[in-house]
Amino acid sequence: MNGIEKNTQFIKLLAAKLGFNYCGIAKAQLLSEDARRLESWLNKGMHGKMQYMENNFDLRIDPTKLVPGAKSVITLLLNYYPAQQQNEAAPKIARYAFGNDYHDVIRTKLNEMLHEIKATIGEINGRGFVDSAPVMERSWAQKTGLGWIGKNGNLINKQSGSYFFIATLIVDLELQLDDGYVKDYCGTCTQCIDSCPTDAILPDKVVDGSKCISYFTIELKDALIPEAMKGKFDNWMFGCDVCQEVCPWNRFSKPTSEINFSPLPAILNFTTSDWEDLTEESFKLIFKNSPLKRSKFAGIKRNLHFTAQ
């Protein structure tokens, strides 16, 4: 076994030891085709008021601008599918937000991974990313054969579905590359397109972010949600899982073994009146480690009021 093979094997074993479910490696190179798609999407205004999507375009498509001398892009998938479900009558919360904030959980794992790589292989230059920089993580995951991009824009893994967080580690270390693209197994199925409450999923694997319930309930910081959306949220208060719930491939989803993603009791058990009676002080205390803090107390109350109308 040569040095490249040995280092690759070490990294894959390390990823598994840290709890990642899948690990794929691609060559660090310019994502020219993805760049064209992203530019078209931005030009059509499908990012709504997410102005940050327009920033650092060159960094999004070229990993060597994020890590000088980058040679490999390591993609890591971490399952978040919960074993338990919410109280059915309560305002709905996307499953990814049931437990602790994934940014914190995965960032800790990536830092540990980089530390272990440097301690074992030697001094390398590398950076880990989890929604923290302009990285096209789904494109890199697809390049390594970890899945295909579904019609709902999610990465779908044939064995495990789509309830995964994607993390990226870019390093200036030459590693063995994984086989490229896997077949697109969506076929003629249009369940996600047909079921989207706001018609945000368009043909040709384009998602209009400015129409997505997740955009309105998490990203949009305006005091009011547009009146045109009234009656379309299907009781979703934070995020939306409809396109994943109807995806046939998610019949293969298995509960996560990551303890940090164990659902908060409040997420599972709160009734509508519990949410309505929640004070800002209690919100900050109960959800201090939760993704819900991204919407802030005012955003949750706005969403709650809007979905109740």
Active site residues: 131
Residue tagged 């989207």 (tokens): 196
Neighbours of 263 (CB within 10 A): 18
> The tokens 């893994």 sit on which residue?
157
Sort strands 236-238 and 92-93 into parallel, antiparallel or unpaired.
parallel
CA 110 to chain centre: 16
d(CA 134, CA 63): 10
Bridge partners, 156 (sequence order): 148
Long-range contacts of 129-133 (CB under 8 A, 24+ apart): 129/66, 129/167, 129/168, 129/169, 129/170, 130/102, 130/103, 130/106, 130/165, 130/166, 130/167, 130/168, 131/103, 132/103, 132/107, 133/56, 133/59, 133/66
